[in-house]
Structure 1
Amino acid sequence: MNKQILKFYTLFVVVFLSCNVDKANNKIGKKEIVKLNITEEPKSIEGELIAIEGFVSPNRMNLQDSILFVKDSRAEKYIHLVDLKNKMRLTSFGIKGKGPGELLSASSMDFYGNRLWVHDLTLGKFVSFDKDSILNNLDGSYKYTDEIQFKEKARQNHNPTWLNDSTTISTTFSESMNRLILTNSQGKVSDEVFEMIPPQKKDTPRAIHNQSYQGKIQKHPSQNKIAVVNRYSDLLEIYDLENETSKLIKTHQNFTPIYEVIKADGNLIMGQDETTRFGCIDISATNDKIFTLYSGRKRGEGFANYANKIYVYDWKGNYLSSYRIPDLAIGILAQNNNTLLTLEYNKDGMGMLKRYILNEK
């Protein structure tokens, strides 16, 4: 990477900006920008190891009743079902391929109703599996339920999650000027909402800039709020869909994505080097709280895309508490305000499922 690295403005003060309509005539509401000053050291906690065999590279979880769905993109079958009550793996499913119901990569997943939806960023599609069908056919004789092929701009989305029976919401790395896109059940973008942080240089391609703010998305159980954490920034974003307001919270070291636009195989991509710093690795939430896995380390420091710190916020963006876990984690899931599940890796690089009991109010 050369020395012409793009840096973004730093947010130190609280400002309130009243916005009207962007170029696409989409409402973006009021935006509040806040810088927190977190000086408290995370409290060290120990967890309970839940010994599950069959994990290869687990990285995301979803819980339905006492059944845990674990995404494992590198496994031959990319979704594991774990019975938490009996602490055992029930089965693994998912066929890799380009055919109907098949995926090349399990990028993210979301549960809606009785269906697990798995997103394939490579093929640009969303495939669903019926929970009862899988549980009743642990031998693998189940079939996928439905498939949505994302079209045009909708193909360039991150972590789609269902808001209702006909609409998903996600972040995007397209040329969009908006932060969130809504997609209908036919796979087409139906709306774009809230303002994306603009690049510092006008000639920076929007798609590359939007890619630099990629991260994980988490909806509030009410479906009316969305939280986004950033992979290359310490930014926590909270969007109120009903009131059309947003709050952007700088949480730790006050850093923004640093990259250079480079050309590889004829395509422009986001260039990284050893100075690339990682922010939040994963997110989970309850009705009251947002739980984030935070790294803060540079790529050159090693394993920066894993984290051993957990920071807790409320849905107004206020800092509540923080914890330090023994090993590096890549996935987090809140069972409730006091119980967390993590996907961690031990010193031998083996994936582990652990449970932590917190002292949250």
Structure 2
Amino acid sequence: MNHKSILLLAIISLMGCSNLKQSLYNGPLFNKFPSAETVKGKKYMTLANAVPRRLFIYKDQLITANRSETEDHLFSFYELATKKLIKHQIGFGTHFGEVMSPLSIGLIKNKLWSHDITANKIVAIDLDSKEKVKQVEEFKLLDMVYSLQLKDSLIYYTSGHSKLNSKVQSFSIRNNMLLDQFGKYDNVPENIPLSAWKTANESFLFMKPDGTKLVSALRFADQLEFFDLASKTSKVIKGPENIELRFDVFKHEGIDIGTRNDETRFGFLNGFATNRFIYLLYSGQLEVGKNFKYGKYIYVYAWDGRPIKKISLPNFASCITIVNDNELYWFDVNTNAVMNAPIHVL
């Protein structure tokens, strides 16, 4: 294993502060959100021995996206009014219509879907289907990608593509034809291979519900890139902590890979998009203890990239969802409960 520690801040001694900032990031910085809100919330329902990875509200139902460690199915459906469990859908496994490693999960209109990063496929169900047991659709992908978002039933967007060096790509869901690609990895440090820089800059994608914009939220920094899908232009914004990437580089099957180390801080974990705002659950923690993959803060941005608000939660949360930009649901990992509270974004 060709292993070398990359402590990017240490490059200051070789390059100087101004060169370092230009070599790693030269976009807009901010240090504080214009407004802040702390919510207490009330317990909506308890989920014993489960830590969902996503929450969705669809019509009169609460949907949880589960983990294979605690559940046999990816999705569980509950009546909002009674909190009664209705059913489970999409089993964990290797067969058709099942998933092993669901990373990207979303709800586009009436289509609930998941990208299985291990099996390299998308599975989806139509929530408005009249069938008692929803039929599962499955679409195989040609190449490995890190994050994925459906735009509609025809097009999906990806980041972290194993063979393409653009930041974002769009494909036909029916035949995997590459439709477009945009976003360039600028300012790559000279001593770091592009493949390692790509993996160190892995991000989660979130789609504006009207399909016009996309945001890329970094895993290991408080940095976002907002893409206008019509003009193919983007805006990068970083803050409020302005975390610098710290990672190791090693070779895996002949390819240089960037991987986290003891000084890597987690950035954005997951989130929820509305047509007005993007809400992102933020960690900011080192990989120590048991809560580094959870967050106590929700960062709210407008779709033009403006920071709007910082929402503070009472405890660590695994996931969030938003209703009408004025109601927040989250899963509290301390109490094993789905919580909800009103919010006032503007």
The two structures share one fold, judged by TM-score above 0.5: yes
Which residue number in structure 2 is paired with residue 290 of structure 1?
278
Which AA in structure 1 matches 2:115?
H
Match of 1:333 among 318, 321, 326: 321
Q: 1:289 to 1:143 in 2, by over 3 A?
A: closer
Q: 1:42 to 1:125 in 2, by over 3 A?
A: same
Which residue number in structure 2 is paired with residue 28 of structure 1?
none
Which residue number in structure 1 is paired with residue 115 of structure 2?
119
2:226 is aligned with 1:241: no
CA RMSD of aligned residues (A): 2.7
Q: 1:56 to 1:269 in 2, by over 3 A?
A: farther
Match of 2:259 among 265, 268, 271: 271
Distance 2:77 2:186 in 1: 38
Q: Deviations over 1:222-245 (max 9, x none)?
A: 210111211101002111111222
Match of 1:34 among 28, 52, 55: 28
Distance 1:102 1:359 in 2: 39
CA contact (8 A) 2:78 2:84 kept: yes
Give ranges in structure 1 of 5+ residues lacking alignment: 16-32
Shift of 1:357: 0.7
Which AA in structure 1 matches 2:42?
E
2:340 is aligned with 1:355: yes
Shift of 1:304: 2.1
Shift of 1:72: 0.9
Q: 1:267 to 1:83 in 2, by over 3 A?
A: farther
2:185 is aligned with 1:196: yes
2:12 is aligned with 1:10: no
Q: Secondary structure of 2:246's partner?
A: coil
Distance 1:195 1:234 in 2: 19
CA contact (8 A) 1:225 1:241 kept: yes
Which residue number in structure 2 is paired with residue 323 of structure 1?
311
Query: Greater shift after overlay, 246-255 or 92-101?
Result: 92-101
Distance 1:113 1:307 in 2: 27
Match of 2:65 among 57, 67, 71: 71
Match of 1:180 among 142, 158, 168: 168
Q: 1:266 to 1:82 in 2, by over 3 A?
A: farther
Query: Greater shift after overlay, 58-67 or 118-127?
Result: 58-67
User: TM-score if structure 2 supplies the norm length?
Assistant: 0.85
Which residue number in structure 2 is paired with residue 20 of structure 1?
none
Shift of 1:257: 2.1
Equivalent pairs, count: 331
Q: 1:54 to 1:90 in 2, by over 3 A?
A: farther
Q: 1:257 to 1:189 in 2, by over 3 A?
A: farther
Which AA in structure 2 matches 1:124?
N
Shift of 1:248: 0.4
Give ranges in structure 2 of 5+ residues lacking alignment: 12-19
Distance 1:179 1:266 in 2: 22
Q: 1:285 to 1:11 in 2, by over 3 A?
A: farther
2:48 is aligned with 1:59: no
Q: 1:143 to 1:324 in 2, by over 3 A?
A: closer
Which residue number in structure 2 is paired with residue 144 of structure 1?
135
Distance 1:91 1:166 in 2: 28
Q: 1:263 to 1:77 in 2, by over 3 A?
A: same
> Identity, % of aligned pairs?
22
CA contact (8 A) 1:216 1:283 kept: no
Shift of 1:168: 0.4
Distance 2:83 2:33 in 1: 37
User: TM-score if structure 1 supplies the norm length?
Assistant: 0.82
